[in-house]
Amino acid sequence: MDKARVLFLCTGNSARSQMAEAFLKRYAPQAFEAHSAGLEPAGIHPLTVKVMEEEGIDMGGHRSKGVNEYMGKMLFGYLITVCGHADANCPAVFPGVGKRMHWEIDDPATFTGTEDERMREFRRVRDQIRDRVLAWLREQGIEPVP
């Protein structure tokens, strides 16, 4: 069986789309090939790496990528935007995309506060993304890998 490719898209590819890609790779490697990109890649946020390590996910192989790295070069079953800016600014026609979806998720990288407060915000967003990925998999009739 061929795996469907999924592209998670946000503005900077520094937190939300990276987390979504990592969770999909963890929970459904048999069904999906996960990728992520940003409209304006900004590098992976250090707190993204920290909170994902808490989940046992090593982000060492991840890098921040621009949408042009994929646009028109790969076929995707799904394009999922995870922020309003990406949803509004992603080209209306994205060659090779089967279904476009939008999940509105807050950007933890823009949150200001103490280190502890910022970590709490990154954890909150991480958990929201994990839960959304798991729910989406179940909607697709796919039981997530434990």
Domain that residue 111 falls in = 4-139
What residues form DSSP beta bridges with 2?
A: none
pLDDT confidence of residue 72? 84
Whether residue 36 lies inside any domain: the answer is yes
Whether residue 145 lies inside any domain: the answer is no
pTM of the predicted protein model: 0.95
The CATH number given to whatever domain includes residue 44 is 3.40.50.2300
Whether residue 55 lies inside any domain: the answer is yes
Listing DSSP states for 86-129 in one string gives: HHHHS-S--TTEEEEEE-----GGG--S-HHHHHHHHHHHHHHH
Whether residue 57 lies inside any domain: the answer is yes
Find the catalytic residue in 83, 86, 129, 137: 83
Whether residue 144 lies inside any domain: the answer is no
Digit-by-digit pLDDT tens for the chain (146 residues) are 589 999 999 999 999 999 999 999 999 999 999 999 999 999 999 999 999 999 999 999 999 999 999 988 899 999 999 988 888 887 766 778 889 999 999 999 999 999 999 999 999 999 999 999 999 999 999 999 98
Distances (CA, A) of 16 to 40, 67, 115: 13, 15, 19
Whether residue 87 lies inside any domain: the answer is yes
If one counts the domains in the chain, the total is 1
90 is catalytic: yes
With contact defined as beta carbons under 8 Å apart, do 129 and 106 qualify? no
83 is catalytic: yes
Find the catalytic residue in 15, 39, 80, 90: 90
10 is catalytic: yes
